[in-house]
């Protein structure tokens, strides 16, 4: 009888920025867990992230279910870091009126193009 593997490695790694990602993909643990929490099945998650094998999705979900408290703490920390980064960016680059400024810039560029192409 051949031996059946009894040790399974969860296909996750931590990137240099501290994000936990699926091995061989840019997909984050955050994304897989968020989809699972939203009620998606493993098959639906695999459709959302076709670079991740269905078997790996199942392994990641099982890992999450076995280590929910630790992973939820990691996800909360990531969310807090995201909020802090957003505040920092908004403090440096005021988002108020951003859309209006971008539309005005686009319209000015279109106006210049129209002026340049007008018969002279």
**Does 7 map to a domain?**
no
Burial class of residue 87 in the structure, from the number of CB atoms within 10 Å of its CB (0-12 exposed, 13-18 middle, 19+ buried): exposed
Whether pLDDT at 1 is above 80? no
**Region 40-54: what's the mean pLDDT?**
98
Q: pLDDT (tens digit, 9 = 90+) per residue, 101-117?
A: 889 999 998 888 777 66
Task: Give the total residue count for the chain.
Answer: 120
pLDDT for 120 beyond 60: no
Q: Which residue has the higher pLDDT, 14 or 94?
A: 14
Q: What is the CATH number of the domain that holds 43?
A: 1.10.10.10
Half-sphere exposure of 35 (CA within 13 A, CB side): 19
Inside any domain, residue 3? no
CA atoms within 13 A on the CB side of 34: 12
Tell me which residue of 26, 28, 24, 11 sits closest to 75, measured CA to CA. 28
Q: Does residue 1 lie in a domain region?
A: no
Q: What does the pLDDT average to over 65-86? A: 96
- Structural domain includes residue 4: no
Q: Which domain holds residue 103?
A: 12-117
Calculate the CA dihedral of residues 20, 22, 28, 34 and round it to 10 degrees. -110
The total number of structural domains in the chain stands at: 1
pTM of the model: 0.73
- Using a pLDDT cut of 70, give the percent of the chain over it: 95
Instruction: Note whether residue 6 is domain-resident.
Output: no
Residue 91 placed within a domain: yes
Q: Does 32 map to a domain?
A: yes
């Amino acid at each position: 009888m051949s031996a059946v593997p009894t040790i399974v490695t969860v296909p996750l790694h931590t990137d240099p920025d501290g994000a936990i990602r699926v091995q061989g993909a840019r997909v984050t643990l955050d994304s897989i867990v968020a989809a699972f929490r939203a009620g998606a099945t493993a098959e639906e998650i695999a459709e959302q992230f076709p670079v991740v094998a269905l078997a790996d999705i199942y392994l990641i979900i099982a890992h999450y279910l076995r280590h929910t408290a630790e992973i939820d703490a990691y996800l909360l920390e990531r969310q807090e870091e995201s909020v802090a980064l957003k505040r920092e960016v908004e403090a440096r680059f005021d988002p108020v009126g951003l859309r209006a400024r971008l539309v005005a810039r686009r319209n000015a560029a279109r106006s210049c193009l129209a002026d340049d192409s007008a018969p002279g």
